[in-house]
Amino acid sequence: MTLSEKEKCAKGMLYDANYDEEMKLERAKTKLLCQKYNNIQYDDFEKRNGIIKNLFNKTGNNFLIEPSFWCDYGYNIEIRENFYSNHNLVILDCAKVTFGNNVFIGPNCAFYTAGHPLDIETRNKGLEYAKPIEVGNNVWFGGNVVVLPGVTIGDNCTIGAGSVIVKDIPDNSVVVGNPGKVIKKLENA
């Protein structure tokens, strides 16, 4: 049995997102919804939240995503209660991206589940892979943070501005740098 490119993606295998017509159509539909979201009058929260609820797999009741916002598919994203993102959030959700309760994201942050092979010949064929990202409860991201494929961030973490998160972060950690490193453990979190 031959797997479709979308099935390969879901299994964490190398896939060609530009070859699969279903994936191309889903991305186009999602980008149009993101564009619509970003162009809605700012104080029309009901309309904007309606688009997010339609776009995402799951949302809490209390959330705010400041425009502009972009994602690839939307249906791989889950946010829980008290989610806030400042301007210019990008979520490349080729795999699942899950945010816990009380997550606050500074401006210009990005969550990338998609990655590309290091092997030049394979990469030049347009192949990529996707690994899920999971963010726990009570996590704060400073501005300009990038989270890479396959990362899990535990509960009660603070991720300092400009950090690039390349590996899992344990609960109750303060992380800064590129690559992000734990610089402090929070005792009473």
Per-residue pLDDT tens over the stretch 69-92: 999 999 999 999 999 999 999 999
Q: 147-177 pLDDT, tens per residue?
A: 999 999 999 999 999 999 999 999 999 999 9
- pLDDT, residue 73, reads 98
**Which domains occur in the chain, in start order?**
5-185 (2.160.10.10)
- What CA–CA distance (Å, rounded) separates 55 from 33? 8
Determine which one of 31, 116, 131, 181 is catalytic.
Answer: 116
User: E-assigned strands of 74-117?
Assistant: 77-79, 83-85, 89-92, 97-99, 103-105, 110-112, 114-115
- pLDDT, residue 13, reads 95
Q: 90-109 pLDDT, tens per residue?
A: 999 999 999 999 999 999 99
- State the pLDDT confidence band at 189, using cuts at 50, 70 and 90: low
User: Is 10 exposed, middle or buried, given 0-12, 13-18 or 19+ CB atoms closer than 10 A?
Assistant: middle
- State the pLDDT confidence band at 128, using cuts at 50, 70 and 90: very high
The fraction of the chain above a pLDDT of 90, given in percent, is 95
Catalytic residue status for 116: yes
